[in-house]
């Protein structure tokens, strides 16, 4: 068998070297790209954490201000300043209702609905009304 010419071996070697160069270059670039992504993600994450901490700080600030505004002393001062005349109810002003007020109010409401419905009763068909939240 006839051996391949010397030039062909050299060309193959050069081609392989180039391939290796491209491959390792790609690996290197890939590694750089991954590191860049990692650093960007880490910095984004750090920025988010800082932002969350900032929002929490502001929340604390607002909570403290709300607490100061709604403390009983502050409310009493507002009551005086705005001349609202609000005060603790006296026992004589209180009427205690036995039973559940929800059920009592519901019964009252139902009575109103059914009396309205049955009022025009006669030869005509009973009149029904659609009760919605807007009618309450």
Choice between 96 and 108, CB closer to other proteins: 96
Residue 106 CB, nearest approach to other proteins (Å): 22
Residue 84 CB, nearest approach to other proteins (Å): 17
Choice between 71 and 118, CB closer to other proteins: 71
The residues that touch other proteins, with contacts defined as CB under 8 A, are 35, 38-39, 42-43, 45-46, 56-58, 60-61, 63-64, 66-68, 70-73, 88-91, 94, 96
Choice between 68 and 84, CB closer to other proteins: 68
Write the DSSP assignment of the chain as a string of letters. Answer: -PPPPHHHHHHHHHHHHHHHHHHHHHHHHHHHHHHHHHHHHHHHHHHHHHHHHHHHHHHHHHHHHHHHHHSHHHHHHHHHHTT----PPPGGG--PPPS-HHHHHHHHHHHHHHHHHHTT-SSSPPP-----GGG-
């Amino acid at each position: 068998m006839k051996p391949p010419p010397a030039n062909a071996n050299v060309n193959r070697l050069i081609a392989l070297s180039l391939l290796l160069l491209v491959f390792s270059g790609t690996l290197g670039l890939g590694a750089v790209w991954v590191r860049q992504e990692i650093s960007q993600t880490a910095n984004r994450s750090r920025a988010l954490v800082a932002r969350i901490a900032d929002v929490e700080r502001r929340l604390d600030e607002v909570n403290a201000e709300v607490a100061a505004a709604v403390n009983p002393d502050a409310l009493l001062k507002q009551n005086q300043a705005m001349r609202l005349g609000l005060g603790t109810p006296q026992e004589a002003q209180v009427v205690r209702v036995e039973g559940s007020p929800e059920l009592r109010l519901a019964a009252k409401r139902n009575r109103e609905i059914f009396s309205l419905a049955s009022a025009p009763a006669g030869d005509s068909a009973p009149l029904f009304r659609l009760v919605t939240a807007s009618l309450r």
